[in-house]
Amino acid sequence: MPSSARSETLRDSLGLGLAVGLYGVAFGAAAVAAGLAPWQASVMSLLMFTGASQFALIGVIGAGGSALAAVGSALLLGTRNTVYGVRLLPLLAPRGVRRFGTAHWVIDETTALAVSAPDRGLARLAFLVGGGSIFVMWNATTLVGAFGAAALGGAAKAALDAVVPAAFLALLWPRLRSSFPEAAVQRRVALGGAVVALVLTPFVPPGVQVVSAVVAVALAGPPRKVAA
Amino acid sequence: MTGGTLWTVVLAGSLGCYLLKLAGLSVPAAWVQQPWVTRVVDFVPAALLAALVVVQAVSVGRDLVLDGRLVALAVAALALALRAPFIVVLVLAGATGALVHVLWGW
């Protein structure tokens, strides 16, 4: 394989790890603001290791939601990774017990890195280096955010409360940009989800409105006839 | 929620998310690559993340409450529209929330 493609893959993979690390600080701080102990936030980053699900779980807990609603929203967002696994299998072809290790790193970022690599060798390299750097950074910065937030108090609490909805908006935003596939449909579904959650809030136990918002996916309509 | 329940939520959620990842590497691709499955999976994040934005910005339990969080969200939206980096968006939102709290006590 050409060495320039190799070094480009390495640079992209390592760089993504550093960028994603910033979200880890936000997650750790938001988890503590939601009422988790700093160690619980850290164990989530270690064992769950899929950002959107982690944010959703603590979002529901922070809103006073039930255990079932919290786990349910995390699992709904975790279904993405099942689809990613199917896409990655022919590229990575993990054998035997390596399948169990590989599975843990199947997330948005590692899938994007592996799928966009020019060949299978580089796809594996991108997955390993990207997964490794993201895993290390995500866990290190979760610790910083969680223990940092636990040490804060007073007006910092109001700041943290304001950071959490902004973090969700920042996670959502790229899907609404016109460059995203079917951005107009994504916007319609997002608006539908927001309306469902808002309308249900006074009437259902906290957290249930978040899981219920999944019905807004119906606004996307049936699959298009041209299959991928 | 007690610490014990929280640990259960953390561990059950983690196990479930891991099994979803493992399923993708283990089940026949045809099961997952049905058009309606990928259709739903493509749009679940938009619906759920938008719901979480709303719930986190304006709810306290079952009550709808307008406070510094909503002002901070508007500032965050503006920053995102101007393509500010993630960390800048969060710092601006946090500073706005703190400022509104200090000035008006919301």
Domains in chain A: boundaries = 3-163, 177-228
Task: Say which of B55, B56, B98 has its CB closest to residue A158.
Answer: B98
- Which strand (E) or helix (H) includes residue B52? helix B35-58
DSSP symbol at A204:
S
Structure tokens at A172: 């959502």
CB-CB contact of B105 with A155 (8 Å) = no
Q: What is the pTM of this model?
A: 0.86
Ranges of H-type helices in chain A: 3-33, 38-47, 51-62, 67-92, 98-104, 108-116, 120-151, 155-176, 183-200, 208-212
- Chain B residue numbers with beta carbons less than 8 Å from the beta carbon of A203 are 62
Phi-psi region of A96 (alpha: psi -120 to 50; beta: other; left: phi over 0): left
pLDDT of residue A21: 74
Of A48, A6, A2, the C-alpha closest to A27 is A48
Cα–Cα–Cα angle for A179, B84, A33, rounded to 5 degrees: 110
B41 touches A at CB < 8 Å: yes
Cross-chain Cβ contact B51/A209 below 8 Å:
yes
Q: Which residues 6+ apart lie within 8 Å of A137 measured at CB? A: A17, A18, A20, A21, A24
Per-residue pLDDT of A31-65, as tens digits, reads 998 999 999 999 999 999 999 999 999 999 999 99
Q: Which residue has the tokens 């550093």?
A: A18
Distance from CA of A78 to the nearest CA of B (A): 5
What own/partner pairs with CB < 8 Å and gap ≥ 24 does B87-93 have? B87/A22, B89/A166, B89/A169, B89/A170, B90/A26, B90/A163, B90/A166, B90/A167, B90/A170, B92/A166, B93/A162, B93/A163, B93/A165, B93/A166
Structure tokens at B102: 């200090």
CB-CB contact of B4 with A181 (8 Å) = no
Per-residue pLDDT of B8-62, as tens digits, reads 999 999 999 999 999 999 998 888 888 888 899 899 999 999 999 999 999 988 8
Q: What is the ipTM of this complex?
A: 0.88
Rg over alpha carbons for chain B, rounded to the nearest Å, is 19
User: Who has greater pLDDT, B86 or B10?
Assistant: B10
Length of chain A: 228
Task: Say which of A73, A86, A94 has its CB closest to residue B48.
Answer: A73
Distance from CA of A111 to the nearest CA of B (A): 12
- Chain B residue numbers with beta carbons less than 8 Å from the beta carbon of A83 are 24, 32-33, 37-38, 41
Task: Say which of B32, B44, B62 has its CB closest to residue A214.
Answer: B44
